[in-house]
Amino acid sequence: MTLTHTTVLLEEAVHALAIKPNGIYVDCTFGRGGHSRLILSRLGPGGRLIAFDKDPMAIAEAATITDPRFTIVHEGFVNLQKELNLREIESVDGVLMDLGVSSPQLDDASRGFSFRFDAPLDMRMDTTRGMTAAEWLNLADEKEIAEVVKDYGEERFAKQVAAAIVASRAGEPILSTGQLSQIVATAVRSREPGQNPATRTFQAIRIYINRELEELALTLPQALEMLNQGGRFSVIAFHSLEDRIVKRFLQDAAQGDKLPSRLPVRAADIAEPPVKIMGKPIRASEKEVDENPRARSAILRTAERTGMAL
């Protein structure tokens, strides 16, 4: 079965980068290559694109691109600066981050991301390394599970979910998505209309297993530091937790030095901040959401590097 992926905010995100034909660009999440291919189509002969991805399936897809201007790196974007420096790249003209899980990852039952299938409970973006969701669920104590489900899933029944998981695994290990989904359903007493009771718990465990929020917070300063003057930084987020991190980071960078409110300083004497936020956040159009419902929660934020030092 061929699993397809429709790239969200494709034209908007690449347009926001203001591609320079001979510039150097980074796609932090190659996925199935939608953004990367469009960036390559807008680069000139001297341009270059470096893409990152943890997922072995994404790496396999990237291998089909034979363009000499393109490089794929089998690493998470948290290693952005290190990997670029290893390739003797000290600065870039644009960085794109398309966060979250891709459609092929959700739709491939064997990956264990979705409660829609009964499959091994894996949830790793990179299936070649790290602890699976099943391994963690059968080792973590009740308090830790409750904290993860509450903090990363914003699940109000987190304590009940954790208690149900610990009680269930006492009888037999939790190894499949079907098991976990059924356990959560017994603990979540109410849910938003149309939403599966396991939605928030699955999101929370996936985020935790892949260190998604921690790696995002560590990568944002790296991306900003690597940008040339006039370089653009665009991020597509899909849920409030990751968007909140991006929003606050960009707002802080765009404020520059925070001076006391009553300090008598002329506006002309205040140094320009290192970042300028470019317009308002962009969301998917009604047409795009109709064609791809997973675009509904997407939000694109873009900032431009000024000439000021960090």
Summarize the annotated binding site for S-adenosyl-L-methionine as residue ranges: 33-35, 53, 77, 98, 105
Helix, strand, or coil (residue 38): helix
Give the separation between CA 186 and CA 156, rounded to whole angstroms.
Answer: 14
Q: Which residues are annotated as a binding site?
A: 33-35, 53, 77, 98, 105
The angle at the Cα of 183, spanning 118 to 155, to the nearest 5 degrees, equals 105
Q: Which of 242, 241, 252 is nearest to 303 (CA)?
A: 252
| Assigned token pair, 27 | 């796609």
Strands 24-27 and 92-98: parallel
Hey, what are 264's tokens? 């008598």
Q: What stretches of the chain adopt beta strand conformation (E)?
A: 24-27, 48-52, 70-73, 92-98, 227-237, 275-277, 282-283, 299-305
CB 92 within 8 A of CB 26: yes
